[in-house]
Chain A
Amino acid sequence: MQKAALDDILQAVERPARYTGGEWNMAVKRGAALHMALCFPDVYEIGMSHLGSRILYRAVNMREEYFCERVFAPWPDMEAALRENGLPLFSLETKRPLGAFDIIGFSLLYEMCYTNILTMLDLARIPFLAKDREGVAPLIVCGGPSACNPEPLADIMDAVMVGDGEEMLLEVLDTLAACHAAGKQKRDALLALSKIEGVYVPSFYEPQYQEGRFAGLERVEPQAPASINRRVVKDLDAAPYIGKPIVPNLSIVHDRAALELFRGCTRGCRFCQAGFIYRPVRERRLETLLDIANELVECTGYDELSLFSLSSSDYSAIHELVTRILNSMQSRRVSVSLPSLRADKFLKSDLERMQEVRKSGLTFAPEAGTQRLRDVINKGVREEDLLRVAQESFESGWTGIKLYFMIGLPTETDEDIVGIAGLAKKVSRLFYAMPKEKRIKALRLTVSASSFVPKPFTPFQWVGQDTAEELRRKQQLLGGALKGIRGVEFNYHASMVSMLEAVFSRGDRRLAQVLVEAYRRGCRFDSWDEHFRFAGWQAAFDACHLDIAEYAHRERDVKEALPWDHIDILVEKSYLLREYALAQKGVVTRDCRSGCNHCFGEKYADYCQLS
């Protein structure tokens, strides 16, 4: 990098510390055999908040011979400045141009960041399509939850990692290093990579279409596996954790020490992709957690520790864990937070103690406004649980509560929408029924309604999403019903963004071209309201002769071939179908902690300690 030019650019862009690196605990290495760029296709503040990337950063850098550096998507002002000055995108650690890395790996957390992948490749002068890249380096790969349906990015990625990355990525690097040493051609290197469990090499498969619809994937490389088994780390106690994590110099979204209690979730909420693609539940041992917590706080200087998981309060020994962590943290003035509380697992005494260090808001996710619909989506929370928790937290001095809901859920009626407001009203009344002297501040009741997006590997993967007009109508209906309720603040998501999310989460291989077309029309940072340009997307779909509605709103036949059928996520498709049928009848399925529901079938039954 030309330092002088970069200096002048940084002087002129917004939040330049996004691009300077040099944070406490940043990895520094010399003479590594293999250089990896761990890319997050969003800004620094978002990317640095992602625990999975932090784990991978640590896992790779623990190995002396590999050096993992970070690259984030430049904000549009920085993108423009780099282009204007003819500078490439570079890493934070050593300012190495992105194109000079041996392997470039993207973390995919949500679909609406995909255009940023193209920005990053473009600024590294790397051709977008895998077929246009001849050499082994740089190898372009991806992983993360959105990679469980890799097809929309299949033409772009050389290889995709499906499932837990901390062991798989190291095997990928070992294999790649061996291929480099042997001077292998790209095809042979990809073949070697495809032998690693969890690795998918898209170019070894070709999609078939019938009457403009996806009809299956044909294997064109006989040595490639017939299906790709999701990778699972069985023992989290033995797996690398974040070690000495980087402490950012500028404020990021989750600016605290994060302690992952367990992976997976036993609840089985039918809309929730994470609930299916991270099964089985795998807990870290209590002692491991206490050790990690201590190390994290000591080496970062953070004064806040977050007990992080899909449903933290479900941890088997949650009460003992919270008590022991609080005992060790309180004297050090470290506050402890549980971000994913369940109203039915509320620990009043623990929460009161957690609040002694610092007051923070409480968040609950009833997801639907009526019990009927909560049964459909298998969200086991009952209204009386929620109201009891609200009451208890108000009495303990909380004044801020956030309630998360979804609209556009399968079988939803207007009654369910109005039910959300009914629930909010009851919560508000509980607060104002307290004597005035007990109310320290005014109530802040945030009602947040996101739009339901059907996701692969969930029982709702066949469902057609509500149209954008219908979602807007429901948003307005809810907004109206919430009027006049004291203390309520109403948030909702832009319906066009949710629609495109539905397109890309269940999309097929033809969408890569749409992505490129949208990128060329200026689409960037699509999950940011200020940058989202629907017209660009519409034009891109038109240019590719593809229909948004076909992808987003069409209900799939259960017999239809799905673009992600070649990925074996462990949970059987027949189980998802069974759950789909139960949902339509409004029948709930028990939490797997109260008894096995046999979601894995015979093949992987021994993967789950609960079964």
Chain B
Amino acid sequence: MRIIANFHKGEALRFISHLDVQRLVQRAMRRARLPLRYSQGFNPHPLLAFASALSVGHTSDAEWMDVRLEKETSPQVFLERMNAALPAGMRVLRVMEIEETLPALTALIRSTNYEVLLKLDAPPDEKKLKETAAAFMRASILVDKKTKSGVKQVDLQPFVLQLDIIEAAEDVCRLFIKGVLNAAGGLPVDLFIRSLMQYCALGGSYRVHRSAVAFDKIEV
């Protein structure tokens, strides 16, 4: 059977990489005695996949794993056993059974929402900030992106679906960002935030939390 499970990656684990998450989930599944299915062939590997990789340092309520099990297991049992075997900082929130024949989640993912908390060096002028941010969104957003072959200039504009300034008071500012995320890539949200901060002359630090993702063909 095929199960997809939505999980939370929190404060205590926000610094571990995607590869670490894969290992951690696999070990937790073994501790939970969940009968993971393995691939056939010379080097069998567990049939465990993820919808997308979360950047190191971000937290999320919208991570998804995609697992094939050898035996029928109810979603509720899956959730309870996993949560008893996961360390602090990771928790399964929802579990659904899906069709075996559906494509991989990486092929179905379309967009993702981020909640961003800026801790600013100086209190911003909310009205002016909103105007500047709107202007920022109207033009191309050129950033230098590090790739394997060197630094490349890319325009982030087509990857940003929505930017809202939820709140700007005292020394904090809350943003909502909806970005493209699919098999080909997605919005590099850190680059986007840094570019926005620079454009709006905001100094300070920020934290990113992924709050939701949307898939094609699966309602979550």
Contact = CB atoms under 8 A, between A and B. Distances in A.
Chain A bound to chain B: yes
Interface of A: 8, 10-11, 16-17, 20, 22-24, 247, 249-251, 298-303, 332-333, 358-359
A17 B205 contact: no
24 contacts: A10-B15, A11-B205, A16-B56, A16-B57, A17-B16, A17-B17, A17-B20, A20-B15, A23-B87, A247-B27, A247-B87, A249-B13, A249-B16, A249-B24, A249-B87, A250-B16, A250-B20, A301-B28, A301-B31, A302-B27, A303-B26, A332-B30, A333-B38, A358-B43
Contact of A301 (B44, B85, B89, B205): B85
Contacts of B28: 24, 301
Given A11-B57, A358-B43, A359-B43, A22 B27 contact: no
B69 interface: no
A22 B15 contact: no
B12 A22 contact: yes
B145 interface: no
Contacts of B31: 24, 298-301
Contacts of B205: 8, 11
Contacts of B23: 251
Max chain A C-beta neighbours (<10 A), residue from B17, B31, B89: B31
Interface size band for B: 20 to 34
Interface in B18-69: 19-20, 23-24, 26-31, 38, 43-44, 56-57
A332 B36 CA distance: 10
Contacts, number: 58
A22 B85 CA distance: 13
A302 B24 CA distance: 10
Contacts of B13: 17, 22, 249
Nearest to B205: A8
Nearest to A25: B87
B88 interface: yes
Interface string B70-94: 0000000000000001011100000
A302 B89 CA distance: 20
A24 B27 CA distance: 10
Given A8-B205, A251-B20, A302-B27, 9 more contacts: A16-B56, A20-B12, A24-B27, A24-B31, A249-B87, A301-B26, A301-B31, A333-B38, A358-B43
A251 B15 contact: no
A17 to B, nearest CB: 5
Contacts of A250: 16-17, 20
Nearest to A28: B88
Contacts of A359: 43
A17 B30 contact: no
